[in-house]
Structure 1
Amino acid sequence: MHTAHPSISVIIPVGSLDPLLDAQLQALAEQDVDCPFDVLISDNAGDGRVSDHVASHPLRDRLQLTCVDASQQVGAAHARNRGAESASGDLLAFCDSDDVVHTSWLTTLVQKASSFDVVGTAVETVTLNSARALSWTPTTEPEKQGRTDFLPFAIGASMACWASVYRDLGGMDNRFRASQDVEFSWRAQLAGYTLGFSDEPVVAYRLRAELRPMLRQSFRLGFGFSKLRGIYRPQGCPALKVRRVASWWMALLLRNPLLPTSLTGMSRGHWLRAFVIRVGELRAGIRYGAIGW
């Protein structure tokens, strides 16, 4: 059984100096956890702006805030791994720079981690997002988050892992540009580690509010998860059935954005997102053998 009062290192991968980072840091300063924790900003840009910002940050002492150079490779997985290498905490907690964790975030993770090796929580999208962004990217109900038809997973924006487990597994795989959290969770479970998930949404998750970034992210999601599915088929991950893929494309054709939204029940942004996801999914499915009969 893991300790109920671990020291914690919070790791935040940062691709550039994000103006939204300060809101996340303020939220971390308001945590109600009774365990000691520090915060590592893992700088994937390496241009000096992030490190300068951290060095002069008003919360630096309160959060034991430090900056880690993670500019050797591009990728959030690499940034998380570099942060983990520098972390001193027994438990590694991961969140993103553009979200805002709830006050109970770390407490929830610590409680769950007392019984599991890797843990995650649900997220909510109501707090930070506009009506338009919500219409483009509908949120999965908390009790259905972290699930796949193969193995469950911890969402990278709200997850924790015991440091010894994370290092034993070699961290996240930076060869994946999306679904690194899913891949890590699957690999951990296949290696015999346990995964726990709380359906209490304790992170305010920020959706893409501009169309092009949202579509780029959507393609990566479709491509990345289909690639992952193909790679893990030998380990028992079920293939995407041809009939199922065909039914998704048929549904898109029937609900095309030329028809009134009142008939399709789907905003045009939502339709475009679904279309781009399916394109990415199909390309990776063919390339990595994720589609089968």
Structure 2
Amino acid sequence: MVVVDNGSTDDTAAVVARWTDRLPDLRVVRHEPRGINGARNAGARAANGELLVYCDADDVATTGWLAAMVRASSKADLIGGYLDFTPLNSERVRMARSANPPDRLPIIMGFLPYAVGASMGVRTEVFQALGGFDESYTGGGGDDVEFSIRAQLMGCSVVFAPGAVMRYRLRERLWSLARQQMGYGRADAKLLRDFREHGLRADGTTKALAHWLKLVWRAPAIASPDRGRWVCHFAWRLGRLLGSAEQRVWCP
């Protein structure tokens, strides 16, 4: 097991040290500068197995998560598990975020499925052939989607592992959730720039305008229990517009 300390400010190193007697192969890799994809790549370089399995520091793997990943690796090159929002998050926070489907992998813009980085497995040889995660994705989203698309364009197979359940921790504050969604929207534009020649397509202007009109029409009701979902959806759409300007594409 490899724990990547990417500039943590808590007692991560001390917690890991308390487990070394029970997990003799447990190692800590310190990586700078800060950035999730650089950290993931550093962890892969330090690992020595045939299968790389990723999870995030603030989530909780259920019993059987790793075993389900290993079983699924006999069927595919890239594996995505299920993210369960229920145990670690309040109802208020869960209502603000759309959950991933429980019976399949999510699909990006109707194009290809992808494995979420917080619960992902990939054969080491495939990871190396792809050159790891693209560290130019620094805006807080899109990196796992980009990795999954490249893998499939290279001919790799991807599969959903329903038994690989990760208890996923959402951001507690609405403003933090909204910033995350804005990052996802900006990443959509970067993905469109990188993969439009392969068939990735965003909503057309008419459909996007209809979504914006619906958002504006629902704005007076944002004091309702749907407020969080409205704010996150607005932030995601706004992120797409900002990303369109940054990447010089049209991803409304």
Normalising by structure 2, we get a TM-score of 0.90
Q: Pairwise mapping of residues 104-253 of structure 1 onto structure 2 (< 5 A)?
A: 104-148=64-108, 149-177=110-138, 178-200=141-163, 202-253=165-216
What is the RMSD of the two structures over their aligned residues, measured on CA atoms? 2.1
Unaligned runs of 5+ in 2: none
Aligned to 2:35: 75
**CA–CA separation in structure 2 for the residues paired with 1:259 and 1:271:** 7
**CA–CA separation in structure 1 for the residues paired with 2:251 and 2:170:** 32
Instruction: State yes or no: 1:275 paired with 2:234.
Output: yes
Aligned to 1:88: 48
Residues 230 and 285 in structure 1, CA contact (< 8 A), matched pair in contact too = no
> What is the number of equivalent residue pairs in this alignment?
248
Aligned to 1:19: none
Structure 1 range deviating more: 168-177 or 142-151: 142-151
Change in CA separation of 1:187 and 1:216 when aligned onto 2, cut-off 3 Å: same
TM-fit CA distance, 1:259: 5.9
Change in CA separation of 1:292 and 1:258 when aligned onto 2, cut-off 3 Å: closer
Unaligned runs of 5+ in 1: 1-38
**Residues 90-112 of structure 1, C-alpha deviations (whole Å, 9 max, x = no match):** 11000011111111111111111
**CA–CA separation in structure 2 for the residues paired with 1:107 and 1:215:** 34
TM-fit CA distance, 1:74: 2.3
**Residues 13-71 of structure 1, C-alpha deviations (whole Å, 9 max, x = no match):** xxxxxxxxxxxxxxxxxxxxxxxxxx21111117795434423x2x2232332110211
Q: 2:61 aligns with which of 86, 101, 106?
A: 101
Aligned to 1:3: none
Identity of aligned pairs, percent? 34
**CA–CA separation in structure 2 for the residues paired with 1:169 and 1:185:** 10
Residues 257 and 267 in structure 1, CA contact (< 8 A), matched pair in contact too = no
**CA–CA separation in structure 2 for the residues paired with 1:160 and 1:65:** 18
Q: Greater relative contact order: 1 or 2 (C-alpha under 8 angstroms, separation 6 or more)?
A: 2
**CA–CA separation in structure 2 for the residues paired with 1:117 and 1:140:** 21
